[in-house]
Amino acid sequence: MNATETPDFPPSLLDIALFYAEAGVDEAIGEQPVDRTVAPPPKPQPAVAVPAAVAAGAPPPASPGSGVQAALASRAAQPASVSAQQAETAATQAARACNTIAELEAAIRAFDGCALKATATNTVIARGNPQAKLMIVGEAPGRDEDAQGLPFVGESGQLLDKMLKAIGRDESNVYISNLLFWRPPGNRDPSAEEIVACRPFIERLIELVNPKVLVCTGKFSTGTLLGTTQGITRVRGRWHDYKRGDIAVPAMPMLHPAYLLRQPGVKREAWRDMLELAARLDELGV
């Protein structure tokens, strides 16, 4: 509109429609305005005919098409919700009852306290040599890991294998696991509840493997196991102590291989960390 033009008032219906279209309105919800600040009146519920025998307390007839039977079956099929505290308690009790890695693996596969299990294809626990003195703990399975049931077998796992090979390590002398044992949908970050549910198992696995050196790859593994709130880029490459009870293991936080694939420019820092890891392993004679 230029300075010589004056708008018509009141505006025409066409002007109003054009205004709303330009504002992004593309759907008419109703012809009458609705006050959204007032709760709507409750809708009347249709009456449901109940057989006299059921009303008197007798069990409903077991007909295949019965709506009552279908409702009961649906309710029974839905698992009861488990709080994070309940899941942690159950996981801790199950993990502490295991005296071998085989028993722990069976307990993890039988555990239902982590919601991720319902959407995962496989339970992903570990690969490599459980007698190895070097243990690596990542974050969570991805698509390839979920499909194959093994950790670090996708593109980032292949990069990890190459990095380990460069310092003379492979599955014969490395044991590899993850903080979580089921894939988060869409490879999203693990939630606090999921970490709480899985933490007792990974801690017990570290205890049973009893490595001489522990590597935590990624911020979630590092933060959970080493108790740090600093970002992975700040703590990587510096030695920490993993402590649980009577266990004290030197631990090295490292950048996750998946991060290196997204940010190739930081591979130089990752290689320095690998050299530091190799020097510590040589020092310990493992």
* 273 in any annotated domain: yes
* The total number of structural domains that make up the chain: 1
SS3 letters across 94-105: HHHCCCCHHHHH
Q: What is the three-class DSSP state of 178? A: strand
* 211 in any annotated domain: yes
Give the residue with greater pLDDT, 46 vs 260: 260
* 169 in any annotated domain: yes
* pLDDT surpasses 60 at 203: yes
* 77 in any annotated domain: no
* pLDDT surpasses 60 at 60: no
Mean pLDDT of 58-77: 40
3-state helix, strand, coil in the chain (%, to 5): 45, 10, 45
Which of the four pLDDT bands, split at 50, 70 and 90, describes residue 255?
Answer: very high
Mean pLDDT of 59-87: 51
Residue 202 Cα to chain centre, angstroms: 14
* 223 in any annotated domain: yes
Residue 149 maps to which CATH number? 3.40.470.10
Residue type, 55: A
Domain containing 107 equals 84-284
pLDDT tens-digit series, residues 140-188: 999 999 999 999 999 999 999 999 999 999 999 999 999 999 999 999 9
pLDDT tens-digit series, residues 111-149: 999 999 999 999 999 999 999 999 999 999 999 999 999
* 259 in any annotated domain: yes
pLDDT tens-digit series, residues 218-239: 999 999 999 999 999 999 999 9
Q: For residue 61, is the peptide bond before it cis, meaning its omega torsion is within 30 degrees of 0?
A: no
* 93 in any annotated domain: yes
Strands 213-217 and 240-244: unpaired
Helix ranges (DSSP H) in 210-254? 219-226, 232-235
* 5 in any annotated domain: no
List phi, psi (to 5°) of 247: -90, 135
Return d(Cα 89, Cα 47) in angstroms, integer.
45
Kindly state the percentage of the chain with pLDDT values over 70: 74
Determine if the pTM surpasses 0.85.
no
